[in-house]
């Protein structure tokens, strides 16, 4: 007779905490460490760290999935406050861990130092700054202008001034900024869910306790956390019948990273639903956005060069669909001796943008009564069909899909995508060779063995009691 193994909130909390603790410990030798602390991937310490990090990631995913079982159980499901507490506990080991899964945070700090020194971050890369901080930036980005808006550059500049160029203080400060963004995301998710007719507890589980949030927004300290936090806050304000404030907050999010500007469409739809004329709703949103842009640019002292800097080069190791197809087409044309080979990648990127615009239009035509869900799907399309993709880009759409998912089946599909993407990047943020893949898989398999053994240990007494 099958026996249901008992699952409770404390077990999930402890399992996730052990997972993030192993991840943080493994990151001490296998993470995106400062240059002077980097170890060769073949060193015993780095190898052990990689095994430990992936061991922790798999435990965290397991804890999150078990927590999802509790969320679906009406008789013992936790409330929003309890889930918030779990998020805090799971995040604690990552607070002082080294950067994980990406070196982008070093670029943020270098660009902040440049802005603080009155260098134009939209005309020059961190190489102009020079010194130890620029040396931490990945080589391919040292001569690349910042693709971020004035709001984030202003935050990075203030952080550079406060940390006085000290790397540990700067890294901690940037992680605290990311944590503030995650806190905003968690705070607005239940409200967005209630307004969208979705389950607030399930929304919080899927959108805030998601492993991608912990791995990339907390451990990776990505500025996407600030973008999503402000975007969610703006949508909540608009749902609360404060559309002008909503438009201002959404534009502030877009002045961190541009994709958030799609949120203005949701603001317009919400205003029209409340009885405003479409032309007036559009004009109000555009005027609010323009005024916010002018004010933010003036306050931060940056230029409007960020608009032109959006054409940031795409890395050669990028796995975006249009980039992969473009590279394959370029290779084929080169072998055929065609002069059109250099146009292959730009052509596929243009096709991706065109397809994205068409899909977004279709989404809004069908889902206009559900603007939060439509916005989430639109941002997912932008991430999937854009010229570059990273695992944390999935959070652009996932955050709002979690807030407004119309059914459990949608949440299940999003959870499955999360599990795959959570395993897609090495803790160092660099490309994987065969040896590193073996180590990573070994860490994951070891975690699965431990989980199976723990399952059998817990199940045995339950079986005896049932007999």
Rounded distance between C-alpha atoms, residue 422 and residue 53, angstroms:
12
pLDDT higher for 48 or 306?
A: 48
pLDDT of residue 1: 32
Residue 313 has pLDDT above 70, yes or no: no
pLDDT of residue 467: 43
Kindly report the three-state secondary structure assignment for every residue of the chain: CCCCCCCCHHHHHHHHHHHHHHHHHHHHHHCCCCHHHCCCCCCHHHHHHHHHHHHHHHHHHHHHHHHHHHHCCCCCCCCHHHHHHHHHHHHHHHHCCCCCCCCHHHHHHHHHHHHHCCCCCCCCCHHHCCHHHHHCCCHHHCCCCCCCCHHHHHHHHHHHHHHCCCHHHHHHHHHHHHHHHHHHHHHHHHHHHHHHCCCHHHHHHHHCCCHHHHHHHHCCCCCHHHHHHHHHHHHHHHHCCCHHHHHHHHHHHHCCCHHHHHHHHHHHHHHHHCCCCHHHHHHHHHHHHHHHHHHHHHHHCCCCCCCHHHCCCCCCCCCCHHHHHHHHHHHHHHHCCCCCHHHHHHHHHHHHHHHHHHHHHHHHHHHCCCHHHHHHHHHHHHHHHCCCCCHHHHHHHHHHHHHHCCCHHHHHHHHHHHHHHCCCCCCCCCCCCHHHHHHHHHHHHHHHHHHHHHHHHHHHHHHHHHC
- The average pLDDT across 442-449 equals 95
281 to 238, 274, 278, 367: CA distances (angstroms): 12, 10, 5, 18
Residue 375 binned pLDDT confidence (cut-offs 50, 70, 90): very high
Tens-place pLDDT, residues 81-130: 999 999 999 999 999 999 999 999 999 999 999 999 999 999 899 999 98
Rounded distance between C-alpha atoms, residue 174 and residue 154, angstroms:
13
pLDDT of residue 21: 97
Residue 5 has pLDDT above 70, yes or no: no
pLDDT of residue 312: 63
Residue 203 has pLDDT above 60, yes or no: yes
pLDDT of residue 339: 85
pLDDT higher for 75 or 163?
A: 163
Tens-place pLDDT, residues 60-72: 999 999 999 999 8
Centroid of chain to Cα 457: 36
pLDDT of residue 116: 92
pLDDT of residue 311: 67
Residue 2 binned pLDDT confidence (cut-offs 50, 70, 90): very low
Rounded distance between C-alpha atoms, residue 162 and residue 450, angstroms:
44
- The average pLDDT across 222-247 equals 95
pLDDT of residue 317: 56
- The average pLDDT across 343-350 equals 90
pLDDT of residue 347: 92
Across all residues in the chain, what is the average pLDDT? 90
Residue 286 has pLDDT above 50, yes or no: yes
Residue 455 has pLDDT above 50, yes or no: yes
């Amino acid at each position: 007779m099958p026996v249901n193994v008992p699952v409770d909130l404390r077990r999930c909390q402890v399992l996730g905490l052990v997972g993030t603790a192993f991840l943080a410990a493994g990151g001490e030798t296998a993470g995106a460490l400062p240059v002077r602390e980097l170890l060769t991937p073949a060193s015993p310490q780095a190898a052990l760290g990689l095994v430990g990090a992936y061991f922790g990631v798999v435990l965290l995913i397991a804890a999150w999935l078990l927590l999802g079982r509790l969320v679906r159980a009406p008789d013992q499901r936790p409330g929003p406050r309890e889930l918030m507490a779990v998020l805090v506990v799971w995040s604690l080991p990552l607070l002082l861990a080294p950067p994980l899964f990406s070196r982008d945070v070093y670029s943020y700090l270098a660009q902040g130092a440049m802005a603080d020194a009155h260098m134009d971050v939209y005309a020059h890369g961190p190489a102009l700054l020079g010194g130890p901080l620029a040396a931490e930036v990945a080589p391919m980005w040292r001569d690349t202008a910042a693709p971020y808006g004035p709001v984030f550059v202003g935050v990075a500049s203030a952080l550079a001034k406060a940390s006085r160029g000290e790397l540990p203080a700067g890294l901690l400060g940037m992680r605290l900024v990311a944590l503030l963004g995650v806190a905003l995301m968690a705070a607005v998710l239940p409200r967005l869910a209630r307004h969208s007719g979705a389950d607030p507890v399930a929304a919080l589980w899927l959108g805030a306790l998601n492993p991608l949030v912990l791995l990339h927004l907390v451990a990776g300290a990505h500025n996407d956390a600030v973008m999503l936090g402000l975007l969610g806050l703006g949508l909540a304000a608009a749902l609360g019948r404060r559309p002008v404030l909503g438009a201002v907050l959404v534009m502030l999010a877009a002045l961190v990273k541009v994709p958030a500007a799609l949120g203005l469409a949701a603001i317009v739809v919400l205003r029209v639903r409340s009885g405003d004329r479409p032309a007036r709703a559009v004009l109000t949103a555009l005027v609010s956005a323009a005024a916010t842009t002018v004010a933010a640019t003036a306050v931060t002292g940056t230029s409007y060069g960020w608009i032109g800097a959006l054409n940031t080069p795409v890395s050669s190791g990028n796995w975006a669909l249009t980039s992969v197809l473009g590279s394959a087409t370029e290779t084929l044309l080169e072998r055929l001796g065609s002069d059109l080979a250099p146009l292959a990648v730009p052509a596929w990127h243009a096709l991706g943008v065109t397809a994205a615009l068409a899909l977004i239009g279709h989404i809004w035509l069908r889902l206009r009564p559900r603007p939060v869900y439509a916005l989430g799907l639109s941002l997912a399309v932008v991430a999937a069909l854009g010229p570059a993709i990273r695992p944390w880009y999935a959070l652009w759409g996932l955050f709002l899909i979690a807030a407004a998912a119309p059914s459990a089946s949608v949440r299940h599909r999003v959870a499955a995508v999360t599990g795959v993407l959570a395993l897609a990047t090495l803790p160092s943020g660099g490309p994987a060779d065969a040896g590193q893949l073996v180590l990573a898989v070994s860490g994951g398999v070891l975690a699965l063995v431990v989980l199976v053994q723990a399952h059998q240990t817990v199940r045995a007494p339950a079986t005896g009691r049932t007999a």
